[in-house]
Homo-oligomer: A and B are copies of this chain.
Amino acid sequence: MERIIFNEDHHAFRASAKEYCDRSLVPRMEQFLEEKTIDRAAWLEAGKQGFLGLDVPEEYGGSSVGDYRFNAVFAEEVSKVSASLSSCFGIHYDCSAPYLVDLGTEEQKQRWLPRFCSGELVAAIGMTEPSGGSDLAALKTTAKKTDGGWILNGSKTFITNGDMADLTITAARTDPAKGAKGITLFAVEAGMDGFARGRKLDKVGQTESGTSELFFEDVFVPDENVLGEVDRGFIHMMERLAQERVGAAVSNIAHATQILAETIEYVKQRKAFGQPVGSFQYNKFLVAELVTKAEVTQAYVDNAIVAHDEDRLSAVDAAKVKWWSAQVQNEILDACVQLHGGYGYMNEYRVARAWRDARVTKIWAGSNEIMKELIGRDLGL
């Protein structure tokens, strides 16, 4: 069914986003895959076209469009090229921006946001630790107060953009006795003494994104780098998870829809037993199911985009749209691989990489299980 949430401005913006993708991303994909990271040039070009400052006020270099549909459009266009690139950019302009904009002091905003918008400063978010990601409140990285700042010790893992981030929003325990109420956010900057990155993690998919471990050994973080209120980091994170999750959902379904469209082309061309493989009724019905599933999911995601834009999207509804879209994305991609036969198993086929890329969406940004826990709890169960 036709989508109805976009107007002319969004369409024009989409054209520009697509143009960016075709120019800056598509031709460099091989390089990204090889180097297991996006290069700086692509960030700078995105910055130049204004994609990185959508949520940032104009005075700090952004465009502050104040319409979440634009965020969604950019995410969709990048996802069509690569779910992985979408996650890297998303962590920056969609997930990190609200932290810096809402929680940052005037001084911090002036210090970071212009370069954040231009793509000179790449952001990351460091919550997960080797000992656990689901139970965020149990994190072990500590920050001890000292003169003029804090001393951080501990480590993070699975951090998107972690290999290159100039600024990592890092959650650390500032009060061991207070559980979730003793966590604070710090902006850890590249080059700080005692801060080190592990190797780029070798992942099942999303090869073109740099995911790393981060190590903090007596890292001194000055008071000026505390983000938001001391001991309120957990709440700061909770409040921003809805945007992270609706953003994830936008990418999930855009990615699946794109690969599905390519698969439909494939099964129209590919022949077996003298007929297109897509014309065998089993495959035809399968594709009909997938197309329906994608559209149904898109309808829900679109509702979520609009609700989030109007500040009506609850954390629980964000959880719903996150897990569902991840589940559907994976179902669609698994079927798309199958429809490609042996070629679906070859990495040079986009569908093969897409399938590997998609697998993580049921795990990250709060695993699907954690989403169901939130929903169930909200129902009073």
Contacts and interface: CB of A to CB of B under 8 A. Distances in A.
Interface stretch (A50-58, A85-93, A356-364): A356-364
B133 A341 contact: yes
A272 interface: yes
Contacts of A369: 280, 282-283, 285, 338
B279 A282 contact: no
Contact of A376 (B158, B203, B285): B285
A34 to B, nearest CB: 12
Q: Is the interface of A mostly helix, strand, loop or mixed?
A: helix
A336 to B, nearest CB: 12
Interface in A183-234: 201-205
A367 B203 CA distance: 27
Interface in A298-318: 299-300, 302-304, 306-307, 312-313, 317
A381 B291 contact: no
Interface in A312-334: 312-313, 317, 320-321, 323-324
Interface in A244-288: 264, 267-268, 271-274, 276-285, 287-288
Nearest to A275: B135
A325 B288 CA distance: 14
Count copies of this chain in the complex. Answer: 4
Most chain B CB within a 10 A radius of its CB, from A202, A204, A368: A204
Contacts of A381: 264, 267-268, 276, 278-279, 283-284, 287-288
A33 to B, nearest CB: 11
Contact of A372 (B205, B279, B282, B306): B282
A296 B297 contact: yes
Nearest to A276: B381
Most chain B CB atoms below 10 A, which of A268, A282, A291: A282
Given A204-B345, A280-B369, A284-B381, 17 more contacts: A4-B303, A132-B271, A134-B341, A204-B337, A204-B346, A204-B355, A204-B356, A205-B345, A264-B380, A282-B285, A283-B369, A284-B377, A288-B372, A296-B300, A296-B320, A299-B300, A338-B362
Interface of A: 1-2, 4, 128, 132-135, 138, 157-158, 201-205, 264, 267-268, 271-274, 276-285, 287-289, 291-293, 295-297, 299-300, 302-304, 306-307, 312-313, 317, 320-321, 323-324, 337-338, 341-342, 344-348, 352, 355-356, 359-360, 362-364, 367-369, 371-373, 375-377, 379-381
